[in-house]
Structure 1
């Protein structure tokens, strides 16, 4: 199995996973950004026909990561729920059933802009809800891109993707953006879209492909 790349964040080694997540192995912590549970339901409530099953797909993907990496704590970097109109019975029931099967997991949500509009998750999900920046060790967990004095920031919000072009073909892949004082995660949600980014001076981009994470050609290796 290919070893996934890691980067150093003020002495903490963080592994980038192709499932668009970060792993802090030392603390058995999985870090996810922008899941947007209920987004498809919110679109359907607005009269836009979109596929069903995105909540289940997201939860199944989380389950697989928890089992594969022996995760004990999940930190959500904002936008857990997409909108108030997405708080439908099917979505909330699926979340409650998932939580009932995973009572041993510690869950922390760093509120994002969508969380402020959608409202906090139901109390029965037993999620610790905090405002940004939330700090653990030398890391600051945030939703919006920012720098935090005395800490290395992990951020979301942008849903970064990188556009590859060759021979007239174009491919957009979710990506991690690693800067000197922060790292940006791609959106974890299966129905979230993406915003094209380019590496700025001092930044590295890592592409989240189907089963591996690849440094953008010309990027400095993460290790």
Structure 2
């Protein structure tokens, strides 16, 4: 069964980017899929502390990633930090799932812009073949970051960042709904957290920001 989804095209830094309902961004000109805060091994980290949380989140994240790569023909995936959640993410079951997936995607270029959780968790296994860089990492007109509040005054590049796990509340007089969102400003974009079991932080719109919420099936601008 094929499930169609509705993305939104935005133009920033004179480039076309697609905001995807699956909480990712695709840069068609570069064949690049941009992912924020996938947090591999978060559930395993909680279980290591004795918290009974569901299994299977790593498999779910990999399946979601795979689907987007296939759908858009991505050649390069850039992770905007927090690839691993904690040192417990190096558990054998988590590592085996990632390595098994990587062996099916050996031609795919992977880049990780280290985030705060990556510094605590340690770098991913070398066998995953991931290029490891620090923020800001510039490609073309974009500075790939983890922290959206990184001092970019000396850098004219447009920042793409994560870290916040942004969410937006849609409310009526009688009900409300909290959805992941993209925050698109004049100098930076904040992506929602891609990972399952990662939660979200309700954001406020700053001057010049456009908010795009995702239902999982379509992206909509918020007026």
Provide the TM-score with structure 1 as the length reference.
0.95
Cα 1:84–1:2 shift into 2, 3 Å? closer
Equivalent positions of 1:25-174 (< 5 A) are: 25-145=28-148, 146=150, 148=152, 149-174=155-180
Query: Aligned partners of 2:13 and 2:68: how far apart in 1?
Result: 25
List 4+ stretches of structure 1 deviating above 6 A: none
Gaps of 5+ in 2: none
- Is the contact between residue 5 and residue 21 of structure 2 (CA under 8 Å) also seen in structure 1? no
- Is the contact between residue 18 and residue 212 of structure 1 (CA under 8 Å) also seen in structure 2? yes
Query: Aligned partners of 1:208 and 1:214: how far apart in 2?
Result: 6
Post-superposition Cα deviations, 1:167-192, rounded to whole Å, max 9, x if no partner, equal: 43221100000010000000000010
Equivalent positions of 1:203-222 (< 5 A) are: 203-216=209-222, 218=223
**Residue 192 (structure 1) aligns with:** 198
Query: Aligned partners of 1:83 and 1:12: how far apart in 2?
Result: 35
- Is the contact between residue 132 and residue 143 of structure 1 (CA under 8 Å) also seen in structure 2? yes
Post-superposition Cα deviations, 1:48-84, rounded to whole Å, max 9, x if no partner, equal: 0000000000000000000000000000000000000
3-state SS in 1 of match to 2:62? helix
**Residue 24 (structure 2) aligns with:** 21
Query: Aligned partners of 2:56 and 2:49: how far apart in 1?
Result: 17
- Is the contact between residue 147 and residue 181 of structure 1 (CA under 8 Å) also seen in structure 2? no
Say if 2:4 is the partner of 1:4.
no
3-state SS in 2 of match to 1:189? coil
Query: Aligned partners of 2:78 and 2:35: how far apart in 1?
Result: 6
| RMSD, aligned α-carbons | 1.1
Query: Aligned partners of 1:2 and 1:61: how far apart in 2?
Result: 13
Query: Aligned partners of 1:201 and 1:10: how far apart in 2?
Result: 18
Query: Aligned partners of 1:166 and 1:5: how far apart in 2?
Result: 24
Query: Aligned partners of 1:203 and 1:189: how far apart in 2?
Result: 24
Post-superposition Cα deviations, 1:114-141, rounded to whole Å, max 9, x if no partner, equal: 0000000000000000000000001000
Deviation at 1:147, TM superposition (A): 5.4
- Is the contact between residue 14 and residue 22 of structure 1 (CA under 8 Å) also seen in structure 2? yes
Deviation at 1:3, TM superposition (A): 4.9
**Residue 221 (structure 1) aligns with:** none
3-state SS in 2 of match to 1:104? coil
Post-superposition Cα deviations, 1:16-37, rounded to whole Å, max 9, x if no partner, equal: 0000000000110000000000
